[in-house]
Structure 1
Amino acid sequence: MEPLALLRVTMGLALLLCFAACTESRNFATQDDQDIGNSGTAARATWCIAKPSTDVEKLYHNIDYSCGQAGIDCRAIQPGGSCFRPDNAVSHASVAMNLFYKATGKHPWDCHFNGTGLVVFQNPSVGGCEYAV
């Protein structure tokens, strides 16, 4: 795929995810809004995803960082893996960041990634790509 076509696909996905975030804002939380563990109420399922507006270079850094941690298995985003498609930085980073988030305790700060992560309350799994809870 040509670089310009890849950029168009990536930007299209980013816009779609951004639109979903805007229209379903009640399902998203900021890092400052969350303290589920200390709220005295039942914990809700949460996932960590990449902010769609994040620079591609930062997303690849998040993938490298997350997948480089002990105990985190990123084979799902490798070619042939269950989360390889769609083949773009936002999708791959979201899977890797969620694996890190889950492995480190699912605290809001485990999804910060220098301001490039979002904690969500709606399962981001798509097709055969199951995000760990």
Structure 2
Amino acid sequence: MSSSTHLIILSLSFLLLFIITPTISGDVSFDEEWCIADEQVPDDELQRALDWACGKGGADCRNIQMKQPCFYPNTVRDHASYAFNSYYQKFKHKGATCYFNSAAMVTSLDPSHGSCKFEYVP
């Protein structure tokens, strides 16, 4: 066989692999992104970023208030993650980023838990 025949066979093999491979399902998605607090950032920095996101930033922080579905766990990190994601999903199509002065990061793992659902906007 010639090298061009090998190349064609290899190309067809990859094409078949993509056609017959089942779609991945579950909590991991390669095209969905959420914005969460970086685990390595101290709470005081997260609190400043959280205050900005829920204030001037315009994030919807109602769900992290007491007696709301995302109040627990009641930690700065968890509340910041919810607020950062709310801001990011709300404004990413207008150029917003998941930065928050290096306090946040993007993840493809849905951070929702229990009755607390993190928004995702395609």
The TM-score with structure 2 as length reference comes to 0.68
Unaligned runs of 5+ in 1: 1-26, 28-42
Once the two structures are overlaid, the 10-residue window that deviates more, 44-53 or 101-110, is 101-110
Match for 2:77: what amino acid?
V
Residue 47 (structure 1) aligned to one of 26, 34, 52: 34
What corresponds to 1:111 in structure 2? Answer: 98
* 1:1-133 equivalence runs, <5 A: 44-69=31-56, 71-105=58-92, 110-133=97-120
Q: 1:78 and 1:92, CA in 2 relative to 1: closer, same or farther beyond 3 A? A: same
**CA deviation after TM superposition for structure 1 residue 72, in Å:** 2.7
Identity of aligned residues (%): 34
The TM-score with structure 1 as length reference comes to 0.63
Report the secondary structure of 1:79's partner residue: coil
Q: 1:89 and 1:70, CA in 2 relative to 1: closer, same or farther beyond 3 A? A: closer
Q: Does the CA-based 8 Å contact 1:108-1:119 persist in structure 2? A: no
Unaligned runs of 5+ in 2: 1-27
Q: Does the CA-based 8 Å contact 2:58-2:87 persist in structure 1? A: no
Report the secondary structure of 1:49's partner residue: strand
- CA-based RMSD of the aligned residues comes to 2.2
Match for 2:68: what amino acid?
G
Matched residue count: 92
CA distance in 1, matches of 2:118, 2:58: 16
Bigger helix fraction: 1
Q: Which one has a bigger Cα radius of gyration?
A: 2
Q: 1:82 and 1:103, CA in 2 relative to 1: closer, same or farther beyond 3 A? A: same
Q: Does the CA-based 8 Å contact 2:49-2:101 persist in structure 1? A: no
